[in-house]
Amino acid sequence: MLVEAVLGNAAEPDWRDRLSQTHVDRLVLDQWEAQKRRLRKRTSGGVEVALSLARDTHLHDGDVLAWDGAAGTATVVQLMLGEVMAVELPPGTPIRTAVELGHAIGNQHWPAVVNGTTVYVPVTVDRRVMDSVMRTHAFAGIKHEFVEGTEVLAFLAPHEARRLFGGAEAAGHTHLPADGS
C-alpha cells in the first residue's frame, strides 16, 4: 500500500465515529521512524505500507493513512515515543541556574529542547542515572519528572519534535583518546 497523504486523525469527531465501526490496522512507529517522510514497514496486521509523504507532512498519533469504508478497514498510525525528562524552570529562574542546568545536560551529551519554561530531554540512558544527575546538582527551585513522549508531543513544533525524538538515537557519545585506544 502506498500512502502519499494523511486522510485525517482518529481524534477528530468524524473519524472517531467512522473508526468505531471499523477494523483498525495499526502502523506502529517508534520515535525515529515517526520523523521520516519515506518509510516501508508492515502494519500489525501484516500489510506492507510505503510512506511517501510531502515535505511539510508530519505524522501524529492517530493519523489515518488508509480507509476502505466498503471493507470496513482503516490503517492508523500508533506512535510509540520514548520517555522524556521534563525540567521545569519557574519564572524568575536566575540566569546562573539556567546556565548550570545547560552545562549539566550538555556535559552528559543529552539532546534537549527548550519550549517556554520547560526543558525536554529524551531518556537516552537509564532514568535512574538522569535522576541522579539532576539530584546531584540540586538546582534550586527546578523540578523534573519523567513523562511519556506522547504527552509532550502536542506542545512541540515539528522541528522541536524532530530534534527531541529524532536526535535521541545519536546521543550516545564517549570521550576516547584521539588514537581510539
Q: Summarize pLDDT for 96-112 with one digit per residue, the tens.
A: 998 999 999 988 988 89
pLDDT > 70: percent of the chain:
91
The runs of H, that is alpha helices, within 34-143 are 95-107, 127-137
Please choose, from the candidates 116, 125, 123, the residue with its C-alpha nearest in 3D space to the C-alpha of residue 160: 116
Q: How confident is the model at residue 166 (pLDDT cuts 50, 70, 90)?
A: low
Q: How confident is the model at residue 46 (pLDDT cuts 50, 70, 90)?
A: very high
Model's pTM, two decimal places?
0.61
Mean pLDDT throughout 62-81? 91
Report CA dihedral (9, 10, 11, 12) to the nearest 10 degrees: 60
Mean pLDDT throughout 59-84? 90
Please choose, from the candidates 28, 133, 141, 145, the residue with its C-alpha nearest in 3D space to the C-alpha of residue 84: 145
Please choose, from the candidates 69, 59, 66, the residue with its C-alpha nearest in 3D space to the C-alpha of residue 45: 66
User: How far is 88 from 144, CA to CA, in rounded Å?
Assistant: 6
Please choose, from the candidates 69, 73, 20, the residue with its C-alpha nearest in 3D space to the C-alpha of residue 49: 73
